Structure 1
Amino acid sequence: MEPELAAGHPRRRLDPTVGKARAMVGNLLGVKTTGKNRVVENPPLVLVGCSGGPDSLALAAVCAFFARRGEVRVGAVVVDHQMQNGSAEVARATAAQLRSLGLDPVVVRTVDLDDDGVGPEAAARAARFAALEATARELGARNVLLGHTLDDQAESVLLGLARGSGTRSLAGMRERRGMHLRPFLGLRRDETLAICEALGLAPWHDPANQDPAYLRVRVRANVIPFLGRELGPGIAESLARSASILGHDADCLDQLAAVEYGKLAERNAGSEAGNPAENGAKTSAANSAPGEIALSEEALRGLPPALRMRVLALAAVELGGVQPSLERLGSAENLLARQGSAGPVQLAGKVSAYRISRSQGVPQEGRSYGKLVLRRSP
């Protein structure tokens, strides 16, 4: 934390990277970085998701500046994924450092991972976001700030390309998505290290970030440096710029798909997840009872492929599944051709898709034909 200066002492020069980071955070929060403090009555609470690493710790320290100005209250959530020995101690030490910065409240959440076939990294991400969102609801927080950087964005784009992903995946992370804010997407990773050094912080360096067993680590350590050598400097910035452009396209397509999904989705008994077009298309499997969603095959065939795939994905997510891969969505889409098997096709998160044959009925409508049904297993 920046030391208080005694009266008559010259003000210490602000580190330019700290100033840059403050401007990014202030822009997203809608608060000033300079001028007279504007203390407000009952300031809104924002939370920082902090692992103790350089990126999130730098973000927490920058946010603490705004808390001292009195325009917002700043707290933090430390999520212990229990993926490494000593993780509980790392979480406690991180929480103590955050409290020393003046953040309040600081909450440590311990989570259990439910792999469900998606892999440890995706399971950890799902558990982390669930913990962050639950804490925000409990505390009445307006936003949750995350410390992802431009380098994280570039890695996400390359990973999406390697998987053959669609527009949404290639768009990477959004600066503002629901209650989540990512003010550091224009900041490089070495700049967050510089902020930690300038403010006298002691970040924790996750050993998993050096483990080549993880694909993201290999992209970070090998692929991006190679592309920089072969294609010239600025490759990370170019990838992040592409993500920003694609993000606007993906947002438009998602909005159009949500409208179509709202028209087509027929929820049968047992589905309590609600409409993902209204809840941000993120429903936890723990809060979703097994059920079915039926979609008109004729209407699906009439949609452009970009919207059709998104509508199918919305149904899978509403039933508590994770975002299906493009390959699995394509297999579900093939059922519309009515050639060969009627399914089921396994998507993700225990959700499967099948088409109604002439001998089957659709609940609430009696005997029917022409429905593609997505179902979640108990």
Structure 2
Amino acid sequence: MRRALGPSGSVLVACSGGADSLALAAATAFVAPRLGIRAGLVTVDHGLQDGSAARAAAVAEWGRSVGLDPVEVATVDVGGRPGGPEAAARDARYEALSSAAERNTAGTVLLGHTRDDQAETVLLALARGGGPRGLSGMPFRKGVFVRPLLDVTRADTRKACAALGLAAWDDPHNADPAYTRARVRADALPALIAALGPAVVANLARTAALVAADVDYLDAAAAEALAAVRTPAGLPVPALAALPAAIRSRVLHAWAKELGAPGSALAHRHVVALDALVTAWHGQGPTSLPDGIVVGRREGHLVRVAL
């Protein structure tokens, strides 16, 4: 917990009232004051279920009762966002948590994702062909967000709530087969456990940690490579072609984001199309990236093309 909370400053716990985040909030309320750290709570009301406002208010009241301060209810509007309902709710939630952290000058927001969540994330990435970045799962720390329970099982958070006399809320969306993650949780992962044994969950989570270390190294190498090959005229094709494929693809991905392509929309096929301008060029025209960005090959360089 000390690693998650950091040396000083203020933290917020994102708490839905479910067993995972409730156990995390209770642990934070106990540990933070003993470390001299101010700890608060944020609960997000997505407005997607009847009674969600009352439930959020109850979570907030519980947070105040255990000494967490500040305590906020963040009400978000999920409608009209791109992607499916899961992605829309997730994006709205993270935006609300980021705003709460900034408003309360909190350097850390604690999230209650467990080892089981990590295993589900890896399975989803495998099914979707997510590549190394997808297989690396959820990071322990990304920006202000920290996940201190990635080595803790979902069963253990339930046991903790029972031991503390806390009544956890079971989100019906977590069991709704309309949601992909719910199907993985209810069917895919239990089938793997039945076939291969209970160690599957820990092994999938360990795979994420191992792959994440490799991804971090390759990303750092790609950042150095991009800085080295960049010229005022663009990215020189011979220098790109000389890079190992794993580095070149990351260089092209990072460069596309620098041009303004949103990371959420930048897909593998876009990077493949950019790579073809380097390794399989036969005079083809420019390729299109998200957000109306067009890249072509001009005088031996990859450049952004104005149409």
Confirm or deny a common fold (TM above 0.5).
yes
Select 2:241's aligned residue among 277, 293, 301.
301
2:217 to 252, 255, 263: 252
1:150 is matched with 115
Structure 2 unpaired stretches of 5+: none
Matched, 1:326 2:282: no
AA aligned to 1:173 is M
> Is residue 169 of structure 2 the alignment partner of residue 204 of structure 1?
yes
In the alignment, the residues of structure 1 paired with residue 191 and residue 300 of structure 2 have an alpha-carbon distance, to the nearest angstrom, of 54
Match of 1:281 in 2: none
1:180 to 114, 133, 145: 145
SS of match in other structure, 1:74: strand
> 2:12 & 2:19 partners in 1: Cα distance?
17
Structure 1 position 296, deviation (Å): 3.9
Give 3-state SS (helix, strand or coil) of 1:186's partner: coil
**Cα distance in 1 for residues equivalent to 2:50 and 2:277:** 46
Provide the residue aligned with 1:26 in structure 2: 2
Within 1, Cα distance between the matches of 2:38 and 2:56?
21
More displaced 10-residue stretch of structure 1: 98-107 or 116-125? 116-125
1:265 Cα shift? 6.1
User: 1:97 & 1:162 partners in 2: Cα distance?
Assistant: 39
Q: Residues 351 and 374 of structure 1 are in contact (CA less than 8 Å); yes or no, is this contact kept in structure 2? A: no
Count of aligned pairs = 304
Aligned twin of 1:230: 195
| Aligned-partner Cα distance in 2 for 1:266–1:120 | 42
**What pairs up with 1:73-88 in 2 under 5 angstroms?**
73-88=38-53
Q: CA deviation at 1:55?
A: 0.8
Letter in 2 for 1:355: G
From 265, 281, 291, the equivalent of 1:338 is: 281
What residue is the counterpart of 1:12 in the other structure? none
Paired amino acid for 2:4: L
Q: Are 1:50 and 2:15 counterparts?
A: yes
* Superimposed CA distance per residue, residues 286-324 of structure 1 (whole angstroms, 9 cap, x where no aligned partner): xxxxxxxx5444433332222222223324444261343
Of all paired residues, the percent bearing the same amino acid is 45
- Give 3-state SS (helix, strand or coil) of 2:243's partner: coil
Q: Find the residue that maps to 2:47 and give its secondary structure.
A: coil
- Post-superposition shift, 1:187? 0.7
The 1:94/1:313 distance shift into structure 2, 3 A limit, reads farther
- 1:213 corresponds in structure 2 to 178
Cα 1:120/1:295, change in 2 over 3 Å: farther
After TM superposition, the structure 1 stretch with the greater mean CA deviation from structure 2, 301-310 or 188-197, is 301-310
The match for 2:62 is 97
| Higher percent of residues as helix | 2
Aligned to 1:312: 252
Distance 1:235 1:77 in 2: 33
Extract unaligned runs of 5+ from structure 1: 1-24, 32-42, 269-293, 358-367
Mapped pair 1:134 → 2:110? no
Residue 200 to residue 374, structure 1, CA distance change in 2 (3 Å) = farther
Q: Deviations over 1:153-195 (max 9, x none)?
A: 0011111111112212101112223332111001111111111
Map of 1:355 onto structure 2 = 296
Q: 49-58 vs 337-346, which deviates more?
A: 337-346
Q: In structure 2, what is the equivalent of residue 370 of structure 1?
A: 301
Superposition CA RMSD, Å: 2.8
Residue in structure 1 matching 2:86, options 121, 124, 128 = 121
Separation in 2, partners of 1:113, 1:332: 34
What is the CA deviation profile of residues 29-86 of structure 1, one whole-angstrom value per residue up to 9, with x for unaligned ones? 357xxxxxxxxxxx51111112221111110110000234252110122223333344
Q: Secondary structure at the match of 1:104?
A: coil
In structure 2, what is the equivalent of residue 290 of structure 1?
none
Amino acid at match of 1:345: S
Taking a change above 3 Å as real, the CA distance of residues 261 and 228 of structure 1, as seen in their structure-2 partners, is: same
Question: Does the 8 A contact of 1:50 with 1:76 survive in 2?
Answer: yes
Over 3 Å counting, the alpha-carbon distance change for 1:131 and 1:331 in structure 2 is same
**Distance change (3 Å), C-alpha of 1:353 and 1:158:** farther
Work out which structure has the larger RCO, using CA pairs closer than 8 Å and 6 or more positions apart in sequence: 2
CA offset at residue 371 of structure 1? Answer: 2.0
Contact 2:5-2:32 within 8 A present in 1 as well:
no
Shift of 1:253: 0.9
* 2:181 match: secondary structure: helix
TM-score, length basis structure 2: 0.87
Q: 1:128 to 1:295 in 2, by over 3 A?
A: farther
- After TM superposition, the score normalised by the length of structure 1 is 0.72
Q: CA deviation at 1:117?
A: 4.3
Larger CA Rg, structure 1 vs 2: 1
Give the letter aligned to residue 73 of structure 1. R
What is the rounded CA distance, in whole Å, between the counterparts of 2:85 and 2:217 in structure 1? 31
